[in-house]
Each structure stands twice: as C-alpha cells, then as structure tokens.
C-alpha cells in the first residue's frame, strides 16, 4: 500500500483524472489513495470476481482523453481474479494514458512482461511469490511514466522517485532500507533464477488447476470467470458461514485459509497457492475443507 501511495504521489498532481478499475478491495484502494491525494478517480466498476474487459477501458480513455492513467491490478487479491494486462497494455500504448499495475500478489505467480506488454508502472512486494517476509516493495517506471513524474506537483519526500533513481545509480537507497529483508530477498531471487521464471509461473498454474479441480470434485463452486494462479476463491453454499468454517479448519486441522472481504465476507474462503506453498499444502487444505 505504501508503494501504491508512492506511485500516486509521484505520477500525478491534484486535480488530475485517473481511471480506476474497481473489481475488489484493492481496486477500491487505488480510488481511495487517488482521492486522498486530490485526484479525480473515475471508477470503472466491473463487479467483484469478474474479468476485466480491456476494450471497455479503451473506450473510456477515447471518450475522456484527459485521463492521465489507468490504475489496476494484475491479480485482484480480494477475489483472486486475473486481469488481461497484456491486452490492456496494447490498447493503452496507443493512447496518452499510462498503465499502472499493482502486481503485488501476481508477480512471478503469473507472467508479467512490463516492456513487451506496455506496463508503464508495476508494483510488487516481497511477501507473496517472492517468498520473502513482508517489508519491501518494488516499482518499475517506463519512460512514458517518467514524464508524469517530472510534472507531478504532489507532496512527497520519503517516496520521491527521482531521489531513489539518483541513489540507485550509486547502488544506494535514499534512506535506511530494511537490510535483513534485502539479504533474504537475494536468496529468494537466486532460487527463482535457478528454477527459471517461466517454470515458476507454470508451477503456480499447476497448483491452481489442481486446487480448482479438487474444489469442483467436492461439489463446491469457484468464484468468477477469471481465476488466477495466486489463490482460489471458493463459493460456499448459503447455509455455511465462511468465518465459522475458517475457525473450524484452523482449530481442527491447523489449516489457515483467508475469508471474503467487503460484500463477499462470510460467503467465500480463499485458498492461497503461491510462493513457498506446494502440492502437499494443497492436499492438506483440501482434505481439511472436505
């Protein structure tokens, strides 16, 4: 969330219009941050758990060319939904709008090619598929996005991208970084490099498919029309309370699953299958659910 705030404070100025894809809690967070910093957040509401239609975004940008950027997710973590960033990037690269992607839960679990796909700003964090404790965030910025940074008048000091860029050239950071986590991250990146980035995404895909087949096999439904490799949202029968189910799974089997957020609270459980989690974890969680 700090990195999301940093992106907003560095890219935009008060009064700027930005388009926000709202299909879950993290889409809503983009809108809240942009509003907190005085931007006009134009919402594109797609429904929680629904796939993003990139053409809809393109139409909106054509009608409102003053929109500076589209803020969205690679995977909307509150529902586990994957958005088609490749198609969206292709459409936006022919416009003046910058594509800002929160890839916090998605990076490495899903393919993401920033340059090839036209992703101008990508945000990630240490604690998801990068298999490092929480505390670090990462941001990439394209040449197109740097132009916005140069013109931004929003207040920032700690988050200042220009200072970070200047220090990065000297292999430094502007302020004291979380060094122990950087050391841990180095080891995680070595593991990922050794396995190969495409194989890491395929491993996540295999676990996701296995989880979904198992959930369907015990006659439960999967949320939405675009489930990601990050997690599987299981729709519960109306007579089952999701929060009670979570407590039971934790108490009886020591298995932790996430609950639903906002309007989905109590109605779904979310089974994560990313990063360190492997096939045996999935077998355990499905057994507990069954």
Residue 102 CA to residue 112 CA, distance in Å, equals: 11
User: Phi and psi of 29, rounded to 5°?
Assistant: -65, -40
- Return the range that interacts with a copy of itself (CB under 8 A); candidates 81-89, 109-117, 153-161, 226-234: 153-161
Residue 286 CA to residue 10 CA, distance in Å, equals: 43
Residue whose C-alpha is closest to residue 256's, from 268, 272, 240: 272
CB nearer to a copy of itself: give 158 or 253: 158
In the complex, what is the shortest distance from the CB of residue 14 to a copy of itself, in angstroms, rounded to a whole number?
8
Q: Which of 10, 72, 79, 125 binds a copy of itself (CB under 8 A)?
A: 125
Q: Which of 7, 33, 121, 200 binds a copy of itself (CB under 8 A)?
A: 33
Binding of a copy of itself by 266 (CB under 8 A): no
CB nearer to a copy of itself: give 16 or 118: 16
Q: Which of 66, 180, 256, 287 binds a copy of itself (CB under 8 A)?
A: 180
Contacts of residue 152, defined as CB under 8 A and 6 or more positions apart, other chains included, come to 9, 10, 11, 12, 13
CB nearer to a copy of itself: give 47 or 155: 155
In the complex, what is the shortest distance from the CB of residue 2 to a copy of itself, in angstroms, rounded to a whole number?
4
In the complex, what is the shortest distance from the CB of residue 15 to a copy of itself, in angstroms, rounded to a whole number?
12
- Return the range that interacts with a copy of itself (CB under 8 A); candidates 15-23, 170-178, 208-216, 254-262: 170-178
Exposed, middle or buried: residue 163 (CB in 10 Å: 0-12, 13-18, 19+)? middle
Which conformational region is residue 15 in: left (phi greater than 0), alpha (psi within -120 to 50 degrees), or beta? left
- Return the range that interacts with a copy of itself (CB under 8 A); candidates 2-10, 139-147, 201-209, 226-234: 2-10
**β-bridge mates for residue 44, sequence order:** 21
Binding of a copy of itself by 167 (CB under 8 A): no
CB nearer to a copy of itself: give 29 or 203: 29
Please, which of residues 133-152 interact with a copy of itself by CB under 8 A? Answer: 133-135
Residue whose C-alpha is closest to residue 181's, from 135, 139, 138: 135
What is the contact mask toward a copy of itself in residues 187 to 226, using x (rule: CB under 8 A)? ----------------------------------------
Cα atoms in the 13 Å half-sphere on the side-chain side of 74: 26
Q: Which of 90, 144, 156, 212 binds a copy of itself (CB under 8 A)?
A: 156
Bridge pairing between strands 40-45 and 17-22: parallel
**By the criterion CB under 8 A, which residues form the site for a copy of itself?**
1-2, 4-5, 9, 32-33, 36-38, 125, 127, 133-135, 154-159, 174-181
């Amino acid at each position: 969330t700090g990195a999301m705030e940093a992106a907003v404070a560095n890219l935009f100025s008060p009064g700027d219009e930005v388009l926000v894809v709202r299909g879950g809690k993290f889409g809503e967070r983009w809108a809240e941050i942009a509003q907190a910093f005085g931007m006009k957040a134009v919402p594109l509401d797609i429904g929680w758990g629904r796939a993003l239609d990139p053409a809809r975004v393109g139409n909106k940008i054509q009608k409102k060319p003053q929109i500076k950027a589209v803020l969205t997710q690679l995977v909307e973590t509150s529902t586990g939904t994957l958005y088609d960033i490749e198609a969206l990037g292709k459409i936006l690269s022919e416009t003046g709008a910058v594509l800002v992607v929160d890839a916090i839960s998605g990076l490495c679990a899903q393919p993401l090619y920033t340059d090839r796909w036209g992703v101008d700003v990508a945000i990630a964090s240490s604690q998801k598929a990068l298999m490092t404790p929480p505390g670090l965030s990462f941001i990439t910025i394209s040449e197109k996005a740097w132009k916005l940074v140069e013109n931004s008048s929003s207040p920032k000091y700690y988050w200042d991208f220009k200072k970070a860029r200047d220090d990065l050239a000297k292999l430094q950071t502007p302020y004291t970084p979380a060094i122990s986590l950087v050391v841990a991250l180095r080891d995680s990146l070595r593991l990922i490099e050794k396995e190969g980035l495409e194989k890491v995404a395929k491993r996540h895909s295999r676990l996701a498919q296995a989880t979904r087949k198992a959930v369907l096999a015990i006659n439960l439904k999967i949320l939405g029309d675009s489930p990601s490799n990050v997690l599987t949202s299981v729709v519960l029968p109306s007579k089952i309370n999701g929060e009670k189910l979570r407590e039971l799974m934790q108490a009886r089997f020591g298995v932790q699953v996430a609950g639903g957020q906002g309007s989905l609270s109590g109605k779904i459980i979310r089974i994560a299958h990313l990063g360190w989690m492997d096939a045996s974890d999935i077998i355990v969680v499905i057994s507990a659910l069954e």
